[in-house]
Amino acid sequence: MATAQKQNQPKILRIGVIQGGKIIEERLVKKRESVTIGQASKNTIVIPVSNLPPSFPVFELKAGAYQLRFTDAMAGRLSVGDAQLDFAALKTQGLAKKDKDGFAVPLNDQSKGKIALGEVTLLFQFVTPPPEAPKPVLPPIAKGSLWHTIDKVFAGVLAATLCVNFGTVKAVTMREAKPQEELTLEELPDRFVKMIVPERPLEPPKPAEQVAEGDGKPKGEEKGDDKPKGTPSKGPAGPVDKAARTAAITQGVQKKGLLKLLGAIGDGGDGGGALEDVLGSGSSGGDIASALDGAGGVGIATADALAAGGGRKGGGSGEAAGIGDLATTGGAGGAGQLAEKKIAKVSGRIIDQGFEIESSTCDRNAISRYIKSRIRALQTCYERELKRNPSLKGKLVVRFLIGENGRVSEIEFEEDTLGNSAVVTCIRSNIRLWMFPIKDNECPVSYPIVFMPSGS
């Protein structure tokens, strides 16, 4: 079957190149196509013959069949059937047809011949195409395998390292952590306890309160009370002890604060004394009773007093007087009056001397309106320091740059006769927050401000 397929295949052209009686080249044209000769390198067969054109189709393929083409300068022989005819006989017998470049003779699979081109001769014939040679196959040992390409030492070290690392991680993750018991404060070492719980500083003992009694004895020095404070009393507890404690509390409250002063008697024994010294130092020591004449007396609100429903206590009688009726003026026996306290209002004023703009493209009216709407904040900065220094006054010249987004930057004080850093800092902070309604233009502004108190 393979032999039949070979016979059905078309024959291919076999060309041999002979020079000096030796075959220097043999070519099998497996693909049926035209064959060119000449001196150019693009030809099928390159022949260094001077009388040949650069490229000449000696075997031309037309309609699936080859034609032998030659010129008058070529000599050769062609086998036609059983006869051997040279190129001249082909011309005379009309077997070679004239064309524009020479002559053409049709060929078949039995045609063969030669062409003489000076020192070079071409032999040609049609032969059965030889079978394709099998592709060379390397033996498996020559090909090698993946195992043969691996470095055995490196692979072993890598495998051992991976096993150790993954084994260690697996062992650590599978190990159950022991629960740690939280130590109590008693179980902690002393040095840690000192770090965790700092020692509370010891409070100094409070000095004993001095009571301005008539004889000048301190509180607690009473008759029959020789026991130290806090000593529990012996004997059964009952209504007597409760009444004693209530009386002691009442007596202690009477000796506290203003009640103690109201009830105190001075050295003169005339009812003035301690309260007189407190209420006024410029008086001549007149009777305080005249100043409080008509005011309700001060007493301790006990259960007996509330049950009795008694009136106001005190030595005076008449209508009750409010604290606003008291006065601080008067002589020794006159009634005093308390003067009303007035808070002095400190205010300052700002003299706007106008501002200068170093760019003619800026909207002066928009900048002026915005500064006037923010001038009150600058006045507040000045008045805050004016309360501390009523004579504070001076002039500030502020220079700042309005950026393309309307924000203020590069704030500088070119002149400062005010001499108060707090006012300067406050004004700088306020101006830095200004946002002017102008865009896409930078405007350098110089703004002088004069600060003066309102009364000047």
Closest CA to 316 of 293, 287, 290, 286: 293
Q: How many C-beta atoms lie closer than 10 Å to residue 307's C-beta?
A: 8
Per-residue pLDDT tens for 38-62? 888 898 888 877 777 888 888 988 8
The more confident residue out of 206 and 397 is: 397
Checking if the pLDDT of 28 tops 60, the result is yes
**Which residues make Cβ contacts (< 8 Å) with residue 390, sequence separation at least 6?**
346, 453
pTM, two decimal places: 0.32
Asked whether the predicted pLDDT for residue 1 surpasses 80, the reply is no
pLDDT for 161:
96
In the block, which residue shows the tokens 């693909």?
31
Pairing outcome for strands 35-38 and 45-46: parallel
Domain range 2-127, its CATH number among 2.60.40.2240, 3.10.580.10, 3.90.1150.10, 2.60.200.20: 2.60.200.20
Residue 186 pLDDT exceeds 90? no
Let me know: does 400 contact 445? Beta carbons within 8 Å: yes
The pLDDT value recorded for residue 194 is 57
Rounded to whole angstroms, the Cα distance separating 72 from 39 reads: 19
Please check the confidence at residue 211 and state whether its pLDDT lies above 60: no
- Can you count the helices (H) and strands (E) in the chain? 13, 17
What are the residue boundaries of the structural domains of the chain, listed by start?
2-127, 281-294+320-338, 348-453
Fold observed for domain 348-453 = TolA/TonB C-terminal domain (3.30.2420)
Q: Could you tell me the two tokens for 55?
A: 């490229």
Residue 198 tokens read as: 């700092």
Q: What is the C-alpha to C-alpha distance for residues 422 and 442, in angstroms, rounded to an integer? A: 29
155 band by pLDDT with thresholds 50, 70 and 90 = very high
pLDDT digit string (tens) for 252-298? 766 655 555 555 544 444 444 444 444 444 444 444 444 444 444 44
**Strands 356-357, 120-127: pairing kind:** unpaired
Rounded CA separation 250/111 (Å): 156
Q: Which two tokens stand for residue 19?
A: 């020079």
Can 2-127 and 348-453 be said to share one CATH topology? Answer: no
Whether the pLDDT of residue 300 is over 70: the answer is no
Which pLDDT score is estimated for 3?
Answer: 54
Identify which of 401, 395, 397, 398 has the alpha carbon closest to the alpha carbon of residue 358. Answer: 401
CA distance 397 to 416: 7
- The mean pLDDT value for 195-204 works out to 64
Q: Which residue has the higher pLDDT, 231 or 361?
A: 361
